[in-house]
Each structure stands twice: as structure tokens, then as C-alpha cells.
């Protein structure tokens, strides 16, 4: 149904228009009955529906409907599977349609700057490319059901401490390369119906009233067409926000901010056409949902099975010494830890789902498995009970293998506050140490929303990272432990050895301002460039089979920045069981045009292979794949020169390498002046000839006695030449000021 939105807006009173720009209550947008504008509901969340009553609260204290808790982003991103994420989005979209929810408040794509961020379990990755691809797939899935998404929290919201007021101090290149791309990719590939701005300030301006952010970049550069809503309570100055591009304030503001909008229009402070535009954008999304009300058939039981499948595809096998996994049903296994019976499968806060059912690992093992359970330690607190511990040690000693279900209690990580350390509860580390004394065949299964320090890592034989597995995570873990499912997840973040290794360690948290001094060196971009030891690298994950890589091919070796380069490689399953491998494509810039990370992810594909089977995986590179953001150009810049194409199984397991030469027509702007160096002139094709002549003058003046030549090496001469400003040629090469002025004038034409 085509609607004339401009006509509808023209028939609204000023008060009605202002009223459309804030919520009716905590979860609904206002209706205007005489114009046929319906009341619609928005609801969390990114990994399942959390529909509350009208008295809802933004942290999920009140009851919500029964729904399915899919694996949170911390786990689902480890699937590295776009198709899987789209299916998850479709399932959530169907549930939203059935429950009359018009917009799902997700996905959350903020970058994992530090392992301490209390909300990391809701975020996908430390890598902007991966986060963007996964988010775009999820958005496509949800919106295929004519239910909107609200991608969040835009932007540079990477901590919970003082999140509603602190200023993220970030340079533009870092914003463009690290903190913006996941949002940008989602807009360009999937066009989310809505954006949610973050609470924080960015370089001193609140996100909710940041015109550069919400209008210039989001709409002007990326082409976003929907409306921007505030995070709940993020509005600082309502009129400034509306002018900047914040259409909808959530939740209801008691009418005060609506009255401010009306007054601003009447006083001539705010142009009414800005208000009209905001209302039109909101109405377009309201009717996109209202005109396509068609609740799809779904059963929570079927979605529970889908949640289990996603968890199985995403859990990451990190260690499997001597093939300790999969377990055999004939082996006596001691399952230890409160998480075996009461798994932690979601995070605390606004995304908390009221699950219609949950599974634990104890109830999900094969019926003929020989499993003895000992609690050992509780799942909800740090408490060492000697009697429980002694029972667990005895069970471990009498078993063939011990499987310890460890992890973080909900109180250790949640929305609203950040972690203060990266450790597991002390009671868990203590019991693990005791068990290792009596049982060398020990496997750890982790339940956590963010990395933890693992002091026992060198002594255990197996490690399965289940993160937060959603309501069916227990069954998924059991199927992987007993080999019914071959694990295929890969880490979407680096696991550092200790907290102080993290690049943001010295600058995380902060008071009124948080300085992002690490710049673009976030996650593996830092660890790999520093050649730092880590527990497990980005993109890492084992399988019960093995894979060989071969036959790397590039569609062209001398592309221009306008070309698309196809990269293909063969992958062979060299083991005895069927499995899936995530093939990762990284780029290394050899041009020296800027300080850049050692490598950056630019492509990935997940491929299923039977034993002995070979498949060709193809990925695509374009100009953006090679580029960095140049703040002088105000654009992405790909320098001419050599780039290494790296294909591998993780950021530190590169199997195949080729080099291509990019021929770029882009040139960096250059203004030549007295302090421009000879080296800078030499490296610029347009000034290189002039530089050679000046260098020749300098070198001819340097020829001297034998003693002088012994004191000044060729390497020293070349280094000094490279760094020599033009003004120095007056003293060292006898070039007059007049000559220099003439040269500079010609070079700047």
C-alpha cells in the first residue's frame, strides 16, 4: 500500500508532530487515530525477544513474555557464518511478528576494545569487518519478516562505566577504521530500519546531538534511510538532537521535551521542515511494519532446535591434546562444576530473555554415557566449599577423564558495569588445580561472555569455549563433547594471556573523558603487530578433523583501485570425519604509505567437507580492502604498491601467500614548503624528478677528503638526505633562497 506520508504530516498539528518524536511509554510509539497512524511496539533484543509489559524497564527487571534465547553475539559471531546469522534473524523476526513487535532492538555491534566491558557478551567482535558482515546478515534475516532492527549503539560506546555521560576521545582515522565500519557495512548491505544512538559523547559532543555523526556520516555518506532513536534516556538537549538527526526519543519524556520542540518551532529557533522530515522518517518505518502484518507460523520448540544448531556451529574447540575429545560413552567421565547443572547461557541487563525452556549438559549426554556428577563449586558465586571440593576431587580421581564446567557467574559481568579483572572466581581456579593433581586427563568447558585468564592452561588437555550458549547451549556442548557434532567455531576475538597485555589497558575506564590512545591497534591488530604471545589468536579454532590449504590464485596481479580481485584457494579435508573450516583472508600493506597493522581481515568463508573432499573457496577484494582512511583526503586511500594476500586458518596460521601490485590513481595532497623533506619529494611521483636534481646538488657538495668519507657512510648519507628539509640545502648544497622559492613555486602548481 502506497501512502502519501507528506500529506499525512501536513494534516498533523504541531503538537502531534512533536509528540511523534518521543515514545508513548517505555516501549510504544504514539498513535494518531484520526490519521490512521497506529501505536506500535519496539522491544529488545539482539538474541531473542524480550517483550515486556507497559511498565517495562530498560534493564529487564520486570517480567517479559516467554521466548527463545538464541546464542548471544559473543558466541554466534564465532560461527563466521553469514547464512546461519540470517536464519537466526528470520526466526527472531517471525517471533516478533507473532507478538506484534515492530522493531527488534539489535544487533549490537560495538567493537570489543577491552575484555573488561560489561556488555561484551552482546557484541560480535574486536574486528570491524567480521562484526559488519555478521550484523548485515542478521539485519537481512529479521527485516525479511517486515520487522525492523535497531543497530546499536552508535558510536564509540565501549564501556559501561559512566556510559551515559563520558566522552570517548577518538581520532577520526580510528573511528573510520575501527568503530564505524560495522555500522557502515550494515547500512550498505542491509539498510536497518532504525539506528540507536549511544549514551556517550564523542570528542565532547553527545552522540544524541552529533550532526556530523547522525546526518553527515550516517545519512550523507552511507545513505541511511530510516530513523534514529535514542538509547533509553540518552537525550541531552532535545532540540539540538532533532536538528542533528535524532528523530525519536525513547522512552516517553512526560511531554516536557515535546513541549520544547513546539516552543522552538513557534519561536523560530527550529525550522518546522526539520520536524516534518523527522516525523516522515518515523512514519515510513511504522507503516513498513503495519502494512505488512502477517504473523508467520512458528513454534518455540522449533526455534529452540535452531538455537541449539547455532550454538553447535559456533562453539570453539581451543585445545585437544592427545585427542582427549570427543569423549567415548565407554569412558567414565566425571562432570564437575555447578555450570553442568545450571549453565550460564545469557548476560544480565536489557537483553535478558525469559526462556520457555533451557537445557543443561548433564541431561543432554548420550543415554549410555557413563557420567558421574559432582558440583565442586557453585555456578552463581565465588565460594570454596571444602566438602564439595573433596567430593569433586574424589570423583575426578576415580574417572577416566574429568570435565570441569567453569565460567563467570552473572554477577561478574553485566550491562551497567564493567569487570575489574579478567579472572575466574578463585574457587574455580583452586579446584581446577586440585583436580589436575589427581587427574591429568582433564577438559575445561568455559561459560563466559568475555575472555578470562587461564593460569592452568598449560596443564589441561582439552578446552571447549562455549561462551554464553543460549537456552539450548547445554545440549550443544554435550553433542560436541561426545562427537555427535564436529566443532567448527573460530574465535571472534583474541584471548590474551593476561589483562595488562590488552592495548587499552592503560586508558580503559576513565572519568569524564576516555582516551583511545591505542588508535587503530585494537585486538589482533595490536597483538599480531607486536608479535605478542597470546593464549589463543583471533580466528583460531580446532576441529575433530584436519584441513589442508592449496592452490591460491588471484584473478589479477596488477589491479587498479577500480578493479575487483577474486581470490580463490582449495581446501581439503585430510582427516577421517566430515567437518567445516572457516577460511580467512587477510591483507598486509607493504607500501609504507601509513602506519598500519601487520594484517587485517578482509574476507572469510565457511565450507563443509566430507573426508577426502576438496572444495574451492572464493573471496572478493575491492579498493576498500586495501585502503586506510586519510583525514587529509577525507576519504579512503589505497596507495600504489605491493600488498600480500594471506589465506589461513587464523590470524596466526597463514597457510598461503601471494603478492599483488596495486596501481592506484589516487595521490595524497602535497603542499611543498621549506620544511618538506627530500625523501617526501622523492616518494611522490609528481615531484620525484625535482627531488633527484636537488639530491644530486647536495651529494656533489658532500664529496670531500678520504678522512671525511670514512666518517660518513653511504647509509648515513642516504638517511640524512631522506630526512633533509629543503631549507637545509642553502647551507649544505649552496642553493640560494631565490632558487628554492622558485623550485617550491613550480612544485606547488
- The residues that are catalytic are 231
Contact status, residue 597 vs residue 128, Cβ threshold 8 Å = no
- Cβ neighbors of 623 (< 8 A, separation 6 or more) are 561, 562, 636, 638
Strand partners, 636: 629
In angstroms and rounded to an integer, the radius of gyration of the C-alpha atoms of the chain is 29
Give φ, ψ of 333 to 5 degrees: -115, 130
Alpha helices in 496-536 (DSSP H): 524-529
Cell triple for residue 98?
A: 507473532
**Of the candidates 435, 432, 445, 427, which has an alpha carbon nearest to the alpha carbon of residue 396?**
435
> If 0-12 CB within 10 Å is exposed, 13-18 middle and 19+ buried, where does residue 54 land?
exposed
- Which has the closest alpha carbon to 350: 115, 146, 112, 163? 163
Q: How far is CA 570 from CA 4, 253, 509, 606, in A?
A: 53, 58, 45, 13
Residues 6+ apart with CB under 8 A from 551: 568, 569, 570, 616
Return the closest-CA partner of residue 102 out of 147, 137, 134, 70: 147
Three-state SS for 250?
Answer: coil
Alpha-helical regions (H) of 330-408: 386-398
Report how far apart, in Å, the C-alpha atoms of 355 and of each of 99, 288, 547, 678 are.
Answer: 15, 29, 38, 67
Pairing of strands 40-43, 28-29: antiparallel
Question: What are 50's strand-pairing partners?
Answer: 44
Instruction: Please confirm whether the linkage preceding 61 is cis (ω < 30° from 0).
Output: no
CB atoms within 10 A of CB 263: 13
- Name all contacts of 294-298 with Cβ < 8 Å and 24+ positions apart: 294/97, 294/146, 295/94, 295/97, 295/98, 296/93, 296/94, 296/97, 296/98, 296/145, 297/94, 298/91, 298/94, 298/95, 298/98
Distance CA(349)–CA(410), nearest Å, equals 10
Does residue 168 contact residue 203 with C-beta atoms inside 8 Å? Answer: yes
Residue 35, phi-psi category: left (phi > 0), alpha (psi -120 to 50), beta (remainder): alpha
Closest CA to 190 of 223, 157, 216: 223
Helix (H) or strand (E) holding 42: strand 40-43
Other C-beta atoms closer than 10 Å to the C-beta of 588 total 17
Residue with cell 564493567: 418
Helix, strand or coil, per DSSP, at residue 373? strand
Give me the residue label for grid cell 646538488: 697
The CA distances from residue 150 to 95, 112, 452, 636, 654, in Å, are: 16, 19, 30, 27, 36
Amino acid at each position: 500500500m502506497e501512502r502519501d506520508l507528506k500529506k499525512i504530516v501536513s494534516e498533523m498539528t504541531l503538537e502531534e508532530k512533536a509528540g511523534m518524536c518521543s515514545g508513548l511509554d517505555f516501549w510504544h510509539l504514539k498513535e494518531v487515530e484520526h490519521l490512521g497512524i497506529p501505536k506500535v511496539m519496539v522491544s529488545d533484543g539482539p538474541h531473542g525477544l524480550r517483550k515486556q509489559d507497559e511498565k517495562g524497564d530498560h534493564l529487564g527487571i520486570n517480567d517479559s513474555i516467554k521466548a527463545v534465547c538464541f546464542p548471544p553475539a559473543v558466541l554466534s559471531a564465532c560461527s563466521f557464518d553469514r547464512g546461519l546469522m540470517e536464519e537466526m534473524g528470520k526466526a527472531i523476526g517471525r517471533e516478533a511478528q507473532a507478538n506484534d513487535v515492530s522493531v527488534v532492538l539489535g544487533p549490537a555491534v560495538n567493537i570489543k576494545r577491552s575484555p573488561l566491558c560489561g556488555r561484551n557478551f552482546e557484541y560480535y567482535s574486536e574486528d570491524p569487518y567480521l562484526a559488519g558482515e555478521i550484523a548485515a546478515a542478521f539485519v537481512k534475516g529479521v527485516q525479511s519478516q517486515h520487522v525492523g532492527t535497531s543497530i546499536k549503539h552508535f558510536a564509540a560506546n565501549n564501556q559501561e562505566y559512566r556510559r551515559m555521560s563520558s566522552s570517548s576521545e577518538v581520532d577520526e582515522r580510528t573511528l573510520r577504521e575501527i568503530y564505524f565500519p560495522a555500522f557502515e557495512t550494515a547500512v550498505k548491505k542491509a539498510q536497518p530500519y532504525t539506528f540507536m544512538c549511544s549514551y556517550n559523547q564523542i570528542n565532547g559532543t553527545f552522540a544524541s546531538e552529533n550532526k556530523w555523526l547522525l546526518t553527515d556520516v550516517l545519512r550523507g555518506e552511507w545513505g541511511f534511510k530510516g530513523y534514529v532513536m535514542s538509547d533509553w534516556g540518552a537525550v541531552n538537549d532535545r532540540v539540538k538532537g532533532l536538528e542533528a538527526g535524532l528523530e525519536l526519543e525513547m522512552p516517553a519524556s512526560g511531554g516536557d521535551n515535546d513541549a520544547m520542540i513546539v516552543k522552538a518551532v513557534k519561536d523560530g529557533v527550529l525550522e518546522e521542515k526539520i520536524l516534518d522530515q523527522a516525523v516522515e522518517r518515523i512514519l515510513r518505518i511504522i507503516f513498513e511494519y503495519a502494512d505488512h502484518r502477517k504473523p508467520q507460523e512458528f513454534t518455540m520448540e522449533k526455534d529452540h532446535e535452531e538455537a541449539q544448531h547455532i550454538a553447535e556451529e559456533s562453539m570453539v574447540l581451543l585445545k585437544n591434546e592427545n585427542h582427549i575429545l570427543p569423549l567415548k560413552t565407554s569412558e567414565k567421565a566425571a562432570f564437575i562444576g555447578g555450570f553442568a547443572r545450571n549453565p550460564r547461557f545469557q548476560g544480565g541487563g536489557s537483553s535478558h530473555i525469559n526462556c520457555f525452556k533451557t537445557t543443561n549438559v548433564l541431561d543432554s549426554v548420550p543415554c549410555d554415557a557413563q557420567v558421574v556428577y559432582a558440583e565442586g563449586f557453585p555456578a552463581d558465586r565465588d565460594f570454596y566449599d571444602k566438602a564439595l571440593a573433596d567430593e569433586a576431587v574424589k570423583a575426578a580421581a576415580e574417572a577416566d577423564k574429568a570435565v570441569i564446567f567453569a565460567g563467570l557467574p552473572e554477577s561478574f559481568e553485566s550491562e551497567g558495569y564493567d569487570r575489574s579483572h579478567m579472572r575466574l572466581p578463585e574457587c574455580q581456579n583452586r579446584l581446577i588445580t586440585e583436580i589436575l593433581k589427581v587427574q591429568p586427563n582433564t577438559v575445561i568447558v568455559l561459560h563466559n561472555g568475555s575472555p578470562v585468564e587461564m593460569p592452568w592452561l598449560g596443564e589441561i588437555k582439552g578446552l571447549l569455549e562455549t561462551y554464553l550458549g543460549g537456552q539450548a547451549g547445554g545440549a550443544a556442548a554435550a553433542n560436541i563433547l561426545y562427537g555427535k557434532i564436529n566443532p567448527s567455531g573460530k574465535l571472534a576475538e583474541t584471548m590474551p594471556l593476561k589483562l595488562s597485555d590488552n592495548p587499552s589497558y592503560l586508558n580503559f575506564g576513565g572519568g569524564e573523558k576516555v582516551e583511545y590512545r591505542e588508535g587503530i591497534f585494537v585486538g589482533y591488530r595490536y597483538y599480531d603487530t607486536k608479535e605478542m604471545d597470546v593464549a589463543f589468536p583471533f580466528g583460531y579454532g580446532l576441529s575433530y578433523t584436519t584441513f589442508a590449504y592449496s592452490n591460491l590464485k588471484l584473478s589479477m596481479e596488477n589491479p587498479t583501485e577500480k578493479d575487483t580481485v577474486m581470490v580463490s584457494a582449495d581446501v581439503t579435508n585430510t582427516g577421517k570425519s566430515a567437518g567445516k573450516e572457516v577460511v580467512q583472508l587477510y591483507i598486509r600493506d607493504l607500501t609504507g604509505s601509513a602506519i598500519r597493522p601487520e594484517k587485517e581481515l578482509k574476507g572469510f568463508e565457511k565450507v563443509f567437507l566430507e573426508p577426502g573432499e576438496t572444495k574451492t573457496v572464493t573471496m572478493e577484494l575491492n579498493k576498500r580492502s586495501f585502503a586506510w582512511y586519510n583525514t587529509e583526503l577525507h576519504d579512503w586511500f589505497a596507495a600504489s604498491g605491493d600488498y600480500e594476500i594471506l589465506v589461513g586458518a587464523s590470524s596466526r596460521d597463514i597457510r598461503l601467500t601471494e603478492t599483488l601490485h596495486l596501481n592506484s590513481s589516487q595521490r595524497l595532497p602535497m603542499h611543498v614548503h621549506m620544511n618538506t623533506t627530500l625523501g617526501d619529494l622523492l616518494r611522490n611521483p609528481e615531484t620525484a624528478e625535482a627531488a633527484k636534481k636537488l639530491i644530486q646538488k647536495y651529494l656533489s657538495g658532500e664529496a670531500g677528503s678520504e678522512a671525511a668519507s670514512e666518517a660518513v657512510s653511504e647509509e648515513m648519507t642516504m638517511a640524512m638526505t631522506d630526512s633533509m628539509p629543503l631549507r637545509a640545502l642553502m647551507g649544505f648544497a649552496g642553493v640560494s633562497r631565490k632558487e628554492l622559492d622558485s623550485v617550491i613555486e613550480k612544485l606547488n602548481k
